[in-house]
Amino acid sequence: MFEPPTKIPDPDAPIRATDNDAAIARLSAVRKGYLIDPYIAALVPRAHLQQPRAPLINIGTYLRSRGIDHLVDGWLRLAGGRKVQIVSLGAGSDTRYWRLANGPHAAQLQRYIEIDFAENTSRKIMSIRKNRVLNAALGNGGSADNVFVGGGGTVLRAPVYNLFPADLRSPPATSLAPILTSRSAAAGNAGAGDIHDVDDDERPMLSPTLPTLLLFECVLAYMDPAGSDALVRWFVDYFVSAPPHAGAPLGAIVYEMFKLNDAFGRVMLNNLKSRNVSLPGAEPYRDLASLSRRLLDSGFATAQAVTLREVRRRYVEPRELQRLAQLELLDEVEELELVLDHYAISWGVRFPEGWREGGGDNAKGGWEKTRKRRNVHSIARRQGGMWVPYEPG
Ligand SMILES: C[S@@+](CC[C@H](N)C(=O)[O-])C[C@H]1O[C@@H](n2cnc3c(N)ncnc32)[C@H](O)[C@@H]1O
């Protein structure tokens, strides 16, 4: 007589699950020898049971990772040894924090902040707490004394690494501001309850006076364009509000699918639809110029974009391409190029008044002044202010 209540499906579950795909793809690329990442296996549930991904996915994962790693490395060099902050939005199971914390620039990391849905942050926190190596690198010279978990297991605060839950589609003033910019116990406002301020002072979690890099790795496409614009703009405004002469450069790196209005894109969208995933945030971006322009329109002074196809063609050294070719047989190069042509990395930077360009170490691989390059879409509104990450191999 009485029907059991139907479970209301959670419309965000398929979006959160995309993190699993990304993490398993990374695990596969590591196991096949494309990438080195000693941390990813600890963040993938039942890692030992995961099957390798197709060569095309392994290569795409390699190029995405290599391109973004190169830009992050360039950003740290641009800061010229100064302390920096990195904020990763929709961080999922990303391991970049541990790779940096155990790398040559570790001492530059003042804060590394990750944001994702609560379900994903709590899963990641459980994995971190279970793993000795991940735990040891949370900040403060490897000591775990200053690590606090709260918010029902969804918030982790440590001297350097911090993980918070938020829905990035909510207005930043009510979702991010209480976590990142409030001068009072930020974590308490984030629902952390039993968390103390690790620094025991009144500084906000995110300082507008430190060089800061925002990472949007495969996340904006899941949000509607107005929401993602508001999100990016909110960060820019926060840095614009820094006291005079105390401001710091703000950089952003965005990785995502684009140009989905062609036949390939339509197939991709249909495939995702069958998994209840849609990509409203990719819709307006039909060429590289539109990706750069998004960053400019949000307040960045210079912006550039490059497809993964061009990363492979122009920025991976021939010797490295040979090494990759020996890892797995890839017979469909045309198909690979078609797929890679629909993924792009875009990046932009804004400098505060009085910032001396070239103040950092503009060595090769930095976000240095550009020459004119084919197939890399660059726009600058600020004279002389073009920075590029890559040197062709
Ligand atoms: C494809 S995964 C990418 C994960 C990671 N950035 C990487 O590249 O490996 C997308 C991530 O963005 C998160 N995400 C998507 N929309 C979000 C939102 N509105 N608020 C918070 N996180 C979101 C998902 O939960 C997921 O972890």
Render pLDDT for 333-390 as a digit per residue (tens, 0 to 9): 999 999 999 999 999 999 887 665 544 444 334 354 433 344 556 554 432 223 344 3
Comparing CA positions, the residue from 284, 278, 281, 277 lying closest to residue 261 is 284
Ligand 1, CB cutoff 6 Å, lining residues: 15-16, 18-19, 22, 90-92, 94, 116-117, 120, 167-169, 217-219, 222-223
- Asked if the model's pLDDT at residue 311 lies above 50, the reply is yes
Question: CB-based burial of residue 144 (10 Å sphere; 0-12 exposed, 13-18 middle, 19+ buried)?
Answer: middle
CA of residue 58 to ligand 1 center, whole Å: 20
226 burial class (0-12, 13-18, 19+ CB within 10 angstroms)? exposed
CB hemisphere CA count around 65 (13 angstroms): 22
* Tens digits of residue pLDDT in 127-172: 999 999 999 998 665 555 789 999 999 999 999 999 999 999 999 9
What is the model's pLDDT at position 190? 41
**Average of per-residue pLDDT across 102-124:** 96
- Residues 17-43: pLDDT tens digits? 999 999 999 999 999 999 999 999 999
Strands (E) in 90-241, as ranges, are 109-116, 148-150, 155-157, 161-165, 212-217
Give the residue-averaged pLDDT of 181-204: 52
Alpha carbon distances (Å) from 182 to 33, 116, 160, 316, 380: 43, 19, 18, 42, 33
Quote the ligand 1 centre to 382 CA distance (angstroms).
32
Mean pLDDT of 315-327: 93
Average pLDDT over the chain, rounded to whole?
Answer: 86
Distance 73 CA to ligand 1 centre (A): 22
Predicted pLDDT at 375 = 53
Percent of all residues in the chain with a pLDDT value above 90, rounded to a whole number: 72
Return the residue whose CA atom lies nearest to atom 4 of ligand 1.
92
Position in ligand 1 atom list of the atom nearest CA 22: 9
Q: Is pLDDT above 90 for 259?
A: yes
pLDDT confidence of residue 245: 76
The pLDDT of residue 379 is 54
User: In this predicted model, which residue has the larger pLDDT, 177 or 386?
Assistant: 177
What is the rounded average pLDDT of the residues 220-249?
93
ipTM given for this complex: 0.99
Give me ligand 1 centre to Cα 221, in Å: 10
Ligand 1 centroid vs 29 CA: distance in angstroms?
20
Mean pLDDT of 194-219: 78
pLDDT of residue 242: 85
Instruction: Identify the pLDDT of residue 98.
Output: 97
The model carries a pTM of 0.90
Looking at the DSSP bridge assignments, the partners of residue 162 are 113, 157
The confidence score (pLDDT) of residue 177 equals 95
Predicted confidence band of residue 99 (pLDDT cuts 50, 70, 90):
very high
Pocket test for ligand 1, best of 10, 12, 15 (most atoms within 8 A of CB): 15
pLDDT value of position 183: 73
